[in-house]
Amino acid sequence: MRPAAALAERLGLPVRDLDLLQQALIHSSYLHEHRDLAAGHNERLEFLGDSVVSLAISNALYRRRPDDDEGVLSARRASIVSTAGLARLAKRLELGSYLLLGEGESQRGGRHRPALLASAFEAVVGALYLDLGYDAASGFVTALAAAELTSDRPLGALKSPKSRLQEYTQRLSGERPQYRLVDAVGPDHDKVFRVEVAVGGLVIGVGEGHSRRIAETSAAADAIEGLRRTSEHVGSGSIDATELAAVLGIEGDDDPTDWGAPEVQPAVAEPWTEFDLEVLDLAPDTSAANGDESLTVDERAADAPTARPIRASDQ
């Protein structure tokens, strides 16, 4: 069975154009090594899917959070559509196992690399949009991101580690974090960057990644974890600890794999969920059962059950 057919079966969606979905799973490294087996890679579909995902999440947040202002809505959207956020959604689909990668990319852990997973997820959404239409594609995205869309996490916890660290250090001391490239090792196609972040000349975090941006994000997250541990030792009643909790979103949040964490593979993948096709408005002959015809897919999804855990017998 081709990866596209297996993924369509896994999703339970009425995919009509398997060739298009197959293209969404083809990484450029695979095309480079198998030009006779693939007509193209997934980057054009990724470009299209990026806009579909952004609009779907923006629309869902706007409808479901009438009390949030523009700034809060933007922060919530950014936490979901960031590389780390989209990779999180891709892992729920176990999308990495369906990707067609070049041998070298596969051996380097490409199936678990957040940037690659996020791009592939956008490509899949782009393919679903072209095949099934916007309502189906957006309904799929919002059903998959239901936990993030309904979360009441504090605003500080939704920002990227670099933004959170800079906001805290500037508020506390007036100084901005400084990032310094310590090392860059490996061949050009698989280089690993090591970065330190310092405040007032004191190194407070170190991070690594396959790009300088990812390494800086990892260093900022490392610094935040250090500050978190410091606040625990200082005591929750101190001014510094209170400030830290307010700015970094630490209070009530002890999960190091939150949406603002560095782009790393979680130790345990989140369980796959299947979607109710009636919620996505994809099942045949369901219009009469949907009740109010004026409701959009997003509005029906807000009130209806959207998923059930897959059982061992379904595997």
Residues designated as active site: 50, 122
Q: Give dist(CA 123, CA 50) in Å, integer.
A: 8
**Amino acid sitting at position 153:** R
Residue 254 burial (C-beta neighbours within 10 Å; 0-12, 13-18, 19+): exposed
Establish how many alpha carbons lie within 13 A of residue 117's alpha carbon, considering only the half-sphere containing its beta carbon.
26
Asked if 265 and 29 count as a contact pair (C-beta separation under 8 A), the reply is no
- Angle (nearest 5°) at CA 48 between 213 and 265: 40
Q: How far is CA 78 from CA 105, 114, 256, in A?
A: 28, 16, 18
Asked if 149 and 53 count as a contact pair (C-beta separation under 8 A), the reply is no
Asked if 192 and 172 count as a contact pair (C-beta separation under 8 A), the reply is no
**Amino acid sitting at position 244:** L
Angle between helices 212-234 and 161-173 (to 10 degrees): 50
Q: Write out the two tokens for 230.
A: 């410091």
